[in-house]
């Protein structure tokens, strides 16, 4: 998708620190980490936001959640816990229009998830 930052990261037009990649999924470190571990996990298919899921996209969403567990293990946060956040739309605080899952951990996170 033209002008999508994350599609450019997928296409290696913009550099990133990749922690996992296959044909369908890319995981890379967030440029502005809010915790010691802050990885963005994205479908390579351009889905602009959670509310734009199409038929059969539930398959890739399921794969992403399984991959998040695997990355949590390699990042050594699987046992102590972590948080997964999907911001959706303007009120949800979504800044990049390509569906992404924030995997955040490596410290004790606050209990308030809303500000």
The set of catalytic residues is 100
The first and second tokens of residue 39, run together, are: 């990885």
Rounded least distance, CB 34 to ligand DGP, Å = 7
Question: Which residues inside 4-33 make contact with ligand DGP, applying CB under 6 A?
Answer: 5, 14, 16, 28-32
| Cβ-contact 50, 66 below 8 angstroms | no
Q: Is 94 in the site for ligand DGP (CB under 6 A)?
A: yes
Rounded least distance, CB 93 to ligand DGP, Å = 5
Q: Is 48 in the site for ligand DGP (CB under 6 A)?
A: no
d(CA 104, CA 38): 5
| Cβ-contact 4, 98 below 8 angstroms | yes
Polymer length in residues for the chain: 115
- Which residues of the shown chain bind ligand DGP in the complex (CB under 6 A)? 5, 14, 16, 28-32, 40, 87, 93-96
């Amino acid at each position: 998708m033209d002008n999508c930052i994350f599609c450019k990261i997928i296409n290696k037009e913009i550099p990133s620190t990749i922690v996992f990649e296959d044909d369908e999924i890319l995981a890379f470190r967030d440029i502005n980490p809010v915790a010691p571990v802050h990885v963005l996990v994205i479908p390579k298919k351009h889905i602009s936001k959670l509310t734009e899921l199409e038929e059969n996209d539930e398959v890739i969403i399921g794969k992403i959640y399984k991959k998040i567990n695997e990355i949590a293990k390699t990042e050594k946060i699987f046992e102590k816990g972590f948080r997964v956040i999907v911001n959706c739309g303007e009120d949800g605080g979504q800044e990049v229009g390509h569906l992404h899952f924030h995997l955040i951990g490596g410290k004790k996170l606050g209990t308030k998830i809303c500000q």
